Amino acid sequence: MEKKITITEAYLYLPIRAGQKEELFEVFAEEDGKVYKVFEFMIPVDQTEKERYSYDYLARFAVKQFTDKTLTLKGEVPETFMREVVNASEKEQESLARPSIHFTAERGWINDPNGLFYQDGVYHLYFQYNPFNTSWQNMSWGHAVSRDLLHWKQEESVLYPDEHGMMFSGCALINERRKLGLQEKAVLYFYTAAAGDTPWSKGKEFTQRIAYSTDGGYTLTKLETPYLDTICRENRDPKIFRHEESGAYIMALWLEENDFALLRSKNLADWEMTDRFTLEKAWECPDLVRLSGQDGSTKWMFWSADGFYYWGEFDGYHFTTDGVQHKAYFNTVPYAAQIYTGVADRVISVSWFRLTFEGRLYTGAMGIPREFSYQEMDGETILIQRPVRELTELLDEIPSKELTIEKIENVECICYNIKDGEVLLFQLEQEYGEGIPTGDGAATKSDIPFEAEFGGVFLTYHPDSGELTVDGNVYSIGTKGKGLSVLIDDKVAEIWETDGTTMGAFEVKDAVDRVVFAGTEYNRLMLYRIRSNTQ
C-alpha cells in the first residue's frame, strides 16, 4: 500500500495496534528528482479486514523538516491503516495511569538510559525507545527533561534508525574544549549504530557514531564522520569521559561476550585501543568512573549492565583490577544504568527497570536516580547508592493520626490508605525502639520479622539475617545495612537497605491504594509521602 502526503504540520501520526505482527513501513522524500528513504520502521499491523482501522494509540514522529514537501509512505498495511495516518500538530490522547516519579514513556517501549547530561539547571534523560509498539524494536532515542531528577517531561524524540542501523545506547559529553569544530556549549553524543538487523542497514556492522546539539539537547544532528569503525561484530555502548591526568578522552566499550575495551583520543575523532580485558559474566553498558569515599579517598570502579562492579586502578591507559565481582542489585529488574555528565560534585546513576506494566500502553520505567560513593566495611569496599538528595528534600512525614489499627485475620495491623498519585516511602530501622505510637506492644528485638502487603504483593524482612522475601522469592540482602526502605509509586516498588549498600525493584500487581503492616509492634516504622511536582 502506498500513500502520498504533503507536510504542513509538525508530526506524522501512525495508528498502533500493539502486539500485532510487525510489517515494514517506509517513508520516502524527493529532492531534485531524486527519491531517497528518510524513515524505516517495523510497525505492528492488524490485517483484519474492517471498514475502519482499530488501534490502541497514535505514535508520532517529527517531519517538520519536510514542510511543504510531499512524502511517500509505503508498507504492507491495509488501506484502512493508511487512512488513519495523519499529518498534524499535537493530538490529544487519553491520559494513562502511570507512576509519579519513575519516568515512563507516554506510550511505547523504553529500555537503557542514554546520553545523560546536566546543563543550565536541566537534567536531560535520553532513552532507548520504540514509539511504535510496547515491545522492543525500532531502537530510537527518546528524550525527557527534569529540574529535580524526579518529575519528568517527555520531549520530542531526537534520533531514529537510518541506513547505518538502529540507534543503540551511548553517552553525552559537553564540548568544553571546542572539539570537532563545534562551539563550547555544544553537546556531543556518542552512540552505537546497530547495523545488519534492518533492511536499510543489511550487510553492515556496528559502528560508534556522533551526533551533536547546539540548542541545549532538544535537536540532534548526526555527523557522517568521524566514526569509530567495527572492532567486533556487535561492539556497542560507548561511555566517554575526560581524563585530565593523562590529557585525553577515554571511551569504555563493550566488545563481545565478557570482553571490554578502553580507547583514548585527544580530539574525539581518532581513537586508539589501549586496553582489552575480560570480566567474568559481565557484559554491555560499561562505565569507568572515579568515586569518592566517605573518608575523602577516591577509587576507580568499572561497571557493567547487570550492576556488576569491579574496583581497581586506572592510569589513563589501563584498568587494573583483582577481578572480584560485586553486585549493586539483589535482583535482575534494574539494568543498564548510566551516570550523568556535567554534574561536578556528584556521581548520579539512573537505571532502567525491566517492568511490563501489563494492560497499559507503555513498557519499562527508569529508577529513582541514585548518588554513588563508597565505604569500607569489615575490610571490604562497598558501593553506596542512596537516592538523590532531591528525594529527601521532598519527604513529608505522615503523622500517626493518618494511620489506623485494624484487625485482619485476628492480627492487629497498621494500615495506611494511599491517595491517588501519592508516592509512599516507609522505613524500618534495624533496631526497633520508640517511634510512632501504634499500639500497646513494643518489640525491642531485631529478629522479629517485618511483614507488609501492598498491591497484591507480600513482603517479609528478617533484620537479623538480612533475608527479604517478596511473593515467595527469597533474596539475601546482607546484614550490613541500617534497616529497610521501601518506596511505592503506582505499580513500582523500590527496596533498598537504608544505608544504600544494595537495592532492587519489583512490579506491583495492582496500583497500590493501601498498605498493611502485619502487627502493631513496629515502633521504628516511619512513613513519608513525597511532595508533588514543584517544578
- Positions marked catalytic: 112
Residue 369 C-alpha cell reads as 536516580
What DSSP character marks residue 120?
A: T
Asked if 309 and 383 touch (Cβ cutoff 8 Å), the reply is yes
User: C-alpha grid cell for residue 102?
Assistant: 519513575
Q: E strands within 391-483?
A: 395-397, 404-408, 411-417, 424-428, 450-454, 457-462, 467-470, 473-476
Under DSSP, the state recorded for 84 is H
Tally helices (H) and strands (E) across the chain: 2, 43
Question: Which cell is 199 given?
Answer: 533492511
Q: Are strands 362-363 and 108-119 parallel, antiparallel or unpaired?
A: parallel
Query: Rounded distance, CA 293 to CA 295, Å?
Result: 5
Only one residue has cell 519528568, namely 152
Going along 101-183, which residue ranges are E strands? 108-119, 122-130, 140-146, 153-159, 166-174
C-alpha span between 192 and 198 (Å, rounded): 14
H or E element: which one contains 290? Answer: strand 287-292
Quickly list DSSP for 177-224: T-GGG--TT-EEEEEEEE-SSSGGGTT---EEEEEEESSSSSS-EE-S
Contact present, 340 and 239 (Cβ < 8 Å): no
In the three-class reduction of DSSP (H, G, I as helix; E, B as strand; rest coil), residue 402 is classed as: helix
Q: Where are the alpha helices (DSSP H) in 108-172?
A: none
Residue with C-alpha cell 549504530? 193
Cα gap 261→275, rounded to integer Å: 6
Instruction: Report the alpha-carbon distance of residue 146 to residue 219 in Å, rounded.
Output: 17
Beta bridge partners of 457: 454
Distances (CA, A) of 306 to 106, 161, 281, 283, 328: 26, 26, 9, 8, 8
Please report where in the chains the cell 546543563 appears, as a residue: 119
Cα(first)–Cα(last) distance of the chain, in Å? Answer: 46
Distances (CA, A) of 513 to 419, 478, 495: 7, 30, 18
Nearest to 254 by CA among 208, 309, 205: 208
